[in-house]
């Protein structure tokens, strides 16, 4: 069935629809990963976005429940060059088309994703909508103009606290502030024997610390960190009381808690092949990333904060640590899911930090 991707600036891209024919507005962004489309679909950090996959062949290995990063897809649409229905992989148990139909997510194939990505790189991300026809173009334009990204953290965060107990406990427990945490991050800590107490995003510092955790994890998530002043205030209350590890949005929230600011990138960093320089150990790691905002380095008090990682492509801040307190954070995803596991040792660093503090 023929369909169109319509952008806020009036651009139109014709293709073939798949998945569920349920159109919703989203911020059109691109991801450069060659694999991991199911992890991308279910990553809460993509909530409210229409994702363009730059790799031209998507769906070739099907989908599998073990690859999901949340209970359901979080994107509002998927744009691909070529969709595969006859998947071939021993783990695959459902086609991408059937999976998206079952979860109510619309997709479009046959799009010149190279041209679309070049447009997003030069002009920046823009609201867009996948539609079946152009008969109601004026209504579509109105919806695009009304697009707003506020309140996304509350949409994806857990609604009530829960506990994950490892099979082989190491004697440590950590509180997780869930801003849209990926299952891969939780699994990485549980695999190290850490008991996790996961809390909704809108939780007080007293509640987070009530279980007497050995550390606090600030998770990834969607949206603009500058709009999360209440959460930043809670994190300020936690600083200095327990070791803290921030990932992605958690890193940005720490930036604001330290008195710094963040700014939006033109088109963001999304994919599994982003080179980052570790300034402490003087080497390069390839990282998985998904973010549209970055720390403004000039806004940080360098007598208290040390920048530990920078993006090789654009020099943006990818990691930092406190000079005196057991606090560190990274802008990228050390658990990958999908992507390289060059930075998996950061979870070991957090475990060591908790043991030393204990």
Are 140 and 206 in a shared domain? no
Structure confidence by residue, pLDDT tens digits, 183-233: 999 999 999 999 999 999 999 999 999 999 999 999 999 999 999 999 999
pLDDT of residue 203: 97
pLDDT of residue 341: 87
CA-CA distance, 39 to 41, in Å (whole number)? 5
Structure confidence by residue, pLDDT tens digits, 219-267: 999 999 999 999 999 999 999 999 999 999 999 999 999 999 999 999 9
Contact criterion met (CB below 8 Å) for 293 and 264? yes
Query: How far lies 82's CA from each of 1, 65, 79, in Å?
Result: 14, 23, 9
Number of domains making up the chain: 2
Task: List helix spans (H) across the chain.
Answer: 37-42, 96-102, 113-123, 137-145, 152-156, 183-190, 205-209, 229-238, 249-257, 345-357
Are 74 and 131 in a shared domain? yes
Backbone angles phi, psi at 329, to 5 degrees: -155, 155
**Taking the mean position of all CA atoms in its chain, how far away is CA 183?**
11
Mean pLDDT of 11-38: 96
Contact criterion met (CB below 8 Å) for 252 and 262? yes
Which candidate, 157, 144, 107, 154, places its Cα nearest to that of 4? 107
Query: How far lies 350's CA from each of 3, 90, 115, 321, in Å?
Result: 47, 35, 42, 12
The total of other beta-carbon atoms located within 10 Å of residue 134's CB is 12
Domain boundary among 121, 148, 175: 148
For 69, half-sphere exposure in the C-beta direction (CA atoms, 13 angstrom radius) is 31
Are 312 and 178 in a shared domain? yes
Are 20 and 55 in a shared domain? yes
Domain boundary among 117, 148, 179: 148
Are 168 and 253 in a shared domain? yes
Per DSSP, which regions of 54-194 are E strands? 57-58, 77-79, 82-83, 106-109, 126-131, 162-164, 173-177
pLDDT of residue 127: 96
Are 269 and 286 in a shared domain? yes
List residues bridging with 197 in a β-sheet. Answer: 163, 175
Are 80 and 214 in a shared domain? no
Are 61 and 190 in a shared domain? no
Structure confidence by residue, pLDDT tens digits, 289-334: 999 999 999 999 999 999 999 999 999 999 999 999 999 999 999 9
pLDDT of residue 339: 86
Structure confidence by residue, pLDDT tens digits, 105-151: 999 999 999 999 999 999 999 999 999 999 999 999 999 998 887 78
Mean pLDDT of 268-274: 95
Structure confidence by residue, pLDDT tens digits, 65-82: 999 999 999 999 999 999
Contact criterion met (CB below 8 Å) for 46 and 74? yes
Which of the four pLDDT bands, split at 50, 70 and 90, describes residue 336? confident
CA-CA distance, 266 to 272, in Å (whole number)? 19
Are 108 and 249 in a shared domain? no
Are 162 and 96 in a shared domain? no
Mean pLDDT of 154-179: 97
Residue 56's CATH number = 3.50.30.20
pTM of the model: 0.96
Are 126 and 237 in a shared domain? no
pLDDT of residue 151: 84
Residue 269's CATH number = 3.40.50.880
pLDDT of residue 340: 87
Contact criterion met (CB below 8 Å) for 52 and 116? yes
Domain boundary among 148, 167, 193: 148
Which candidate, 320, 271, 313, places its Cα nearest to that of 291? 271
Supply the residues annotated as catalytic.
248, 333, 335
CA-CA distance, 217 to 328, in Å (whole number)? 10
pLDDT of residue 148: 81
pLDDT of residue 305: 98
List residues bridging with 156 in a β-sheet. Answer: none
CA-CA distance, 17 to 79, in Å (whole number)? 9
* Virtual torsion, Cα 239, 240, 243, 249, nearest 10 deg: 10
For the chain, helix (H) and strand (E) counts, in that order, are 10, 19
Which tokens is 288 given? 């998985």
pLDDT of residue 208: 98
Question: Which residues span the domain enclosing 125?
Answer: 2-148
The DSSP bridge pattern shows strands 2-7 and 26-31 to be: unpaired
Which tokens is 200 given? 């909704």
Are 179 and 326 in a shared domain? yes
pLDDT of residue 338: 86
- Is 69 in a helix, a strand, or coil? coil
């Amino acid at each position: 069935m023929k369909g169109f991707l319509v952008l806020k600036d009036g651009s139109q891209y014709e293709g073939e629809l798949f998945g569920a024919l349920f159109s919703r507005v989203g911020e059109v962004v691109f991801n450069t990963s060659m694999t991991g489309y199911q992890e991308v679909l279910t990553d809460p950090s993509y909530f409210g976005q229409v994702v363009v996959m730059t790799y031209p062949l998507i769906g070739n290995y099907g989908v599998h429940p073990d690859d999901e990063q949340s209970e359901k897809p979080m994107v509002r649409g998927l744009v691909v060059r070529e969709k595969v229905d006859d998947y071939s992989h021993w783990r695959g148990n459902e086609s991408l088309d059937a999976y998206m139909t079952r979860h109510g997510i619309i997709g479009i194939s046959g799009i010149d994703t190279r041209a679309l990505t070049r447009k997003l790189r030069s002009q920046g991300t823009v609201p867009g909508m996948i539609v079946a026809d152009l008969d109601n173009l004026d209504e579509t334009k109105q919806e695009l103009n009304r697009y707003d990204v506020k309140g996304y953290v509350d949409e994806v965060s857990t609604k009530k606290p829960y506990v994950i107990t490892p099979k082989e406990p190491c004697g440590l427990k950590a509180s997780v502030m869930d801003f849209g945490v990926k299952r891969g991050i939780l699994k990485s800590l549980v695999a190290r024997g850490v008991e996790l107490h996961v809390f909704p995003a809108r939780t007080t510092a007293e509640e987070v610390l009530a279980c007497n955790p050995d550390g606090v994890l600030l998770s990834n998530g969607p949206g603009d960190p500058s709009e999360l002043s209440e959460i930043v205030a809670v994190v300020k209350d936690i600083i200095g009381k327990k070791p803290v590890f921030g990932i992605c949005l958690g890193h940005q929230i720490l930036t604001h808690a330290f008195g710094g600011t963040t700014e939006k990138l033109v088109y963001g960093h999304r994919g599994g092949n982003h080179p980052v320089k570790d300034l402490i150990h003087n080497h390069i790691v390839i990282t998985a990333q998904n973010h549209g905002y970055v720390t403004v380095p000039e806004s940080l008090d360098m007598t208290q904060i040390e920048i530990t990682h920078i993006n090789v492509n654009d020099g943006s801040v990818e990691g930092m640590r406190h000079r005196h307190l057991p606090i560190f954070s990274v802008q990228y995803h050390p658990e990958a899911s999908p992507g390289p596991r060059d930075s998996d040792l950061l979870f070991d660093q957090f475990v060591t930090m908790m043991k030393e503090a204990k």
